Structure 1
Amino acid sequence: MNFFRDNNEKWFWLIALIILMLIGYSQLPIIAYVLTAALFAYALFNPKYAILLLFVYIPIREFVTAYNPGLSYLTEALVFGALFHVVWANRSSIGKLFKFKNFEYAYFAFLAIGSISALIMGISPILIAMQLRQFVVFYLVYYIVYRLGITRKDLINLVWIFVWTSILVIIQAMAEKLSIRNFFLPLEWQQMALSAKNRVRIYGMLGNPNVLGIFLMFAFIAFYYAKNKLPEFNPRYMDILNVLLVGILVLTYSRGTWGGFLVAAIAFLIMTRKLSILIDFVKYTALAMILVVLPLNLMTNFIEKTDIGSEKVTNIQQFDVGGESGFRDRIGSTFSEDTVTGSQSSGRLFIVKTGFEVFKDHPIIGTGFATFGDSTTLSNGSPLYKRYGIGHNFYSDNQYIQIIVQTGVLGVIAFATFLLTMLWRFGKKHKESYLYSLTVSILLGAYFMGLVYNLWESDIFGLAFFALLAAASRREDFGLSDDGKAL
Structure 2
Amino acid sequence: MEFIRKYGLIVSVALLIFSLLFPGTVVGLAVTLLIVGMLVLNPKQGILFLIVYFPVRPFLIEVNDSIKFVGDLLIILLFIKCLPYYFKNKGEWKQGIVFIAGFLAFCAIGAASALLTGVSIGAIVFQLRAFLITFLLIFVVRSLDITKKDVISFLWVTILMAVLLSVHGIIEKVSLRTMFLPKSWENMHLAETNRMRIYGLIGNPNVLATYLSIAFIFTLYLKRIVQNKQVLITAFSVLIFGAFILTYSRGTIIALGVGLVVYLFLSRDWKIFKPLLLSLVLSLPLVYYPVVQLTTYMENHSEKHQSDKELREKNGDFSQRMNEAFNKDTIKKSTAWGRLYVVNRGFEIFKEHPVIGTGFGTYGDSASLAYSSPIYERYKIPENLYSDNQFIQVIVQTGAMGVVTFAVFILGMVGSLWKRRKENAAAIALIAILAGGFAAGMFYNIFEDKTFTLYYYILIGFVLNSMVARNGTMKR
TM-score by length of 1: 0.91
Shift of 1:123: 1.1
**Aligned in 2, Cα 1:40/1:310: closer, same or farther, shift over 3 Å?**
same
Task: From 45, 48, 52, give the equivalent of 1:52.
Answer: 48
State how far apart, in whole Å, the 2-side matches of 1:410 and 1:220 are.
37
Tell me the SS of whatever aligns to 2:359.
coil
Aligned-partner Cα distance in 1 for 2:21–2:292: 29
Q: CA deviation at 1:98?
A: 8.4
2:209 matched residue in structure 1: 213
CA–CA separation in structure 1 for the residues paired with 2:277 and 2:70: 39
1:366 and 2:351 matched? no
Q: Which runs of 5+ in 2 are unaligned?
A: none
1:467 paired to 2:463:
no
Could you list the per-position Cα deviations for residues 20-47 of structure 1 after superposition, in whole angstroms to 9, with x for gaps in the alignment?
2342242223211111112222243222
Which position in structure 2 is the counterpart of 1:394? Answer: 385
Cα deviations across residues 188-239 of structure 1 (Å, max 9, x unaligned)?
A: 11111111110000011111011001111111122221110234x6121111
In structure 1, distance between residues paired with 2:266 and 2:94: 33
Measured after TM superposition, the shift of residue 93 of structure 1 is 6.2
Q: 1:370·1:376 contact (CA, 8 Å) conserved in 2? A: yes
SS at match of 1:215: helix
The residue aligned with 1:184 is 180
Q: What is the root-mean-square deviation in Å for CA atoms of aligned residues?
A: 2.4
Partner of 2:469: 479
Residues 10 and 160 in structure 1, CA contact (< 8 A), matched pair in contact too: no
Residue deviations 1:343-393, cap 9 Å, x none? 111100000000001100100000111111001111221011111111001
2:315 is aligned, of 324, 328, 342, to 324
1:160 alignment partner AA = W
Q: Tell me, which stretches of 5 or more residues in structure 1 are unaligned?
A: 1-8
Letter in 1 for 2:99: F
Contact 1:180 1:309 in 2 (8 A): no
Is 1:276 matched with 2:271?
yes
CA contact (8 A) 1:40 1:80 kept: no
Is residue 290 from structure 1 mapped to residue 281 from structure 2 by the alignment?
A: no
| Matches of 2:307 and 2:78, distance apart in 1 | 45
1:259 to 250, 254, 267: 254
* Counterpart amino acid of residue 465 in structure 2: R
Give the letter aligned to residue 446 of structure 1.
G
Aligned residue for 2:163, secondary structure, equals helix
* Deviations 1:322-354, CA, capped at 9 Å, x for gaps: 852422332222122221111111100000000
Q: Which residue of 1 aligns with 2:58?
A: 62
Preserved contact between residue 355 and residue 399 of structure 2 (Cα < 8 Å): yes
- Aligned partner of 1:353 in structure 2 is 344
1:303–1:309: 8 Å Cα contact kept in structure 2?
no
Aligned to 1:86: 82
How many residues align structurally? Answer: 471
Secondary structure in structure 1 of the residue aligned to 2:470: coil
Identity, in percent, stands at: 34
For residue 164 of structure 1, report the CA deviation from its aligned partner.
2.9
Secondary structure of 1:444's aligned partner: helix
Aligned residues of 1:37 and 1:77 also touching (Cα < 8 A): no
Residues in 2 aligned to 1:337 and 1:345: alpha-carbon distance in whole angstroms: 12
1:104-253 to 2 correspondence within 5 Å? Answer: 104-231=100-227, 234-253=229-248
Question: In terms of mean alpha carbon deviation, does 107-116 or 274-283 score higher?
Answer: 274-283
Alignment partner, residue 304 of structure 1: 299
Cα deviation digits, residues 272-309 of structure 1 (max 9, x gap) = 22222112211111100110000000000111111345
Cα distance in 2 for partners of 1:240, 1:412 equals: 43
Q: Does 1:32 align with 2:28?
A: yes
Residue pair 2:468, 2:474 contacting (<8 A) in 1 also: no
Among 384, 388, 402, which residue is 1:411 paired with?
402
Alpha-carbon distance change, 312 to 14 in structure 1, aligned in 2, over 3 angstroms:
farther
Structure 2 distance, partners of 1:382, 1:371, is 5
Q: Contact conserved, 2:102 with 2:409, CA < 8 A, in 1? A: yes
AA partner of residue 278 (structure 2): K
- 1:418-470 CA distance string (max 9 Å, x none): 11122233236545542111111101111100110000000111100001111
Moved more, 402-411 or 138-147: 138-147
CA distance 1:434–1:191, change in 2 (3 Å) = same
The one-letter code of the counterpart of 1:301 is T
Distance in 1, matches of 2:329 and 2:269, equals 42
- Contact kept, 8 Å, 1:199 with 1:325, in 2: the verdict is no
Query: Per the alignment, do residues 266 and 99 of structure 1 end up closer, same or farther by CA in structure 2, a change over 3 Å counting?
Result: closer
Residues 224 and 93 of structure 1: CA distance in aligned 2, closer, same or farther (over 3 Å): closer
Q: Does 1:337 align with 2:333?
A: no
Letter in 2 for 1:48: K
User: Over residues 462-485 of structure 1, what are the superposed CA-to-partner deviations in whole Å (9 max), with x where a residue is unaligned?
Assistant: 10000111111125x86235xx64
Distance in structure 1 (CA, Å) of the matches to 2:148 and 2:432: 22
Q: Distance in 2 between matches of 1:22 and 1:154?
A: 27
Decide whether the 8 Å contact of 1:446 with 1:455 is kept in 2. Answer: yes
Structure 1 Cα separation of the partners of residues 313 and 288 of structure 2: 24
Change (3 A) 1:148 1:278: same
Contact (CA 8 Å) 1:271, 1:431: kept in 2 or not?
Answer: no
